[in-house]
Structures are given as C-alpha cells and as structure tokens.
C-alpha cells in the first residue's frame, strides 16, 4: 500500500528536543508555529503508523489497525482532512 503524506502548520511548545501540542503548566515555556509533516505507512497485515515529524525535534508515531483510524487520529490531533492526504509513489519499479 502506498505511503500517504500531508503537512500542517501547528503551534507547539518545545522542551529540549521534545514537543507538546498543549500548553504545559509551566507558562515560561514558549510556543511557536511550525510545520508538522505527517505520513501514514503500513498495510492491512501489520497495521498502520501515523508518523509525525517536526524539524529539529524527535519523530513520533502511533500504531493503528486501519488506515482510516490513522486518518481519524490525524484529524483529531491536527485537523487534517481526508482530502489533504497525497499518495507518495512507491520506489519499487518492478
């Protein structure tokens, strides 16, 4: 199954190389708007990973039983709509 990709501008709060989507109780931590790159990779047999990448921060992922579940998680966390996803062609030329 092809990998899906999209990106979204979001506000994050940074603590070293980690990032948070919600403002922490420590209000001295500054926030910034940045672009998050999102990918959905996997297949029906192994499940799907929603991969979330922000430059200069750790990449994180979540596992989902279906591609639709991963898309719904991306929508809940970042407001990504189903029509925002684009297929990345496979590199395999066989």
* Residue range(s) defining the domain that contains residue 11: 3-88
Average pLDDT over residues 7-27: 84
pLDDT at residue 19 is higher than 60:
yes
Residue 93 lies in a domain: no
Query: Which class for 9: exposed (0-12), middle (13-18), buried (19 or more C-beta within 10 A)?
Result: exposed
pTM: 0.84
**Torsion 21-70-58-91 (CA) sign:** negative
Mean pLDDT estimate for the chain: 89
Look at 86 and 94; give whichever has higher pLDDT: 86
Q: How many domains does the chain have?
A: 1
State the residue for tokens 């579940």.
69
Which pLDDT belongs to residue 56? 74
- Reported as a single tens digit per residue, the pLDDT across 22-62 is 888 877 888 889 999 999 999 999 999 999 998 777 789 99
- Judge whether 15 lies within some domain: yes
Compute φ and ψ for 75, nearest 5 degrees.
Answer: -65, -45
**Residue 94 lies inside a defined structural domain of this protein:** no
Q: Can you read off the two tokens belonging to residue 64?
A: 């989902």
Task: Please give the pLDDT value at position 80.
Answer: 96
């Amino acid at each position: 199954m092809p990998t899906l990709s999209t990106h979204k501008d979001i506000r994050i709060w940074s603590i070293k190389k980690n990032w948070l989507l919600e403002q922490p109780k420590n209000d001295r931590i500054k926030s910034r708007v940045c672009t998050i790159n999102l990918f959905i990779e996997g297949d029906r047999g192994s499940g799907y990973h929603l991969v979330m990448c922000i430059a200069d921060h750790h990449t994180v992922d979540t596992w989902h039983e279906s591609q639709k579940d991963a898309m719904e998680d991306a929508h809940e966390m970042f407001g990504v709509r189903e029509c925002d996803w684009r297929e990345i062609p496979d590199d395999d030329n066989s």
